[in-house]
Amino acid sequence: MQALYRKDIACMFGVDLRTVDRWKHDKILPMPSRIAGRPYWTEAQIDKHTRLAVKNWNNRERTRAMKAAKLHRTQRRNVATLPPPSQLSLPLK
HSE-up of 80 (CA within 13 Å, CB side)?
6
Per-residue pLDDT at 66: 75
- What whole-number distance in Å separates Cα of residue 10 and Cα of residue 18? 9
Task: Report the pLDDT averaged over residues 12-17.
Answer: 88
- % residues pLDDT > 90 (the chain): 13
- What whole-number distance in Å separates Cα of residue 72 and Cα of residue 76? 6
- 42, 1 in Cβ contact below 8 A? yes
- Does residue 72 register a pLDDT over 80? no
Per-residue pLDDT at 53: 72
Nearest partner of 41 among 23, 54, 56, 58, judged by Cα: 23
Q: Please give the class, per CATH, of domain 3-80.
A: mainly alpha
Q: What global pTM score does this model have?
A: 0.54
Q: Which segment of 21-35, 42-56, 64-78 scores lowest on mean pLDDT?
A: 64-78
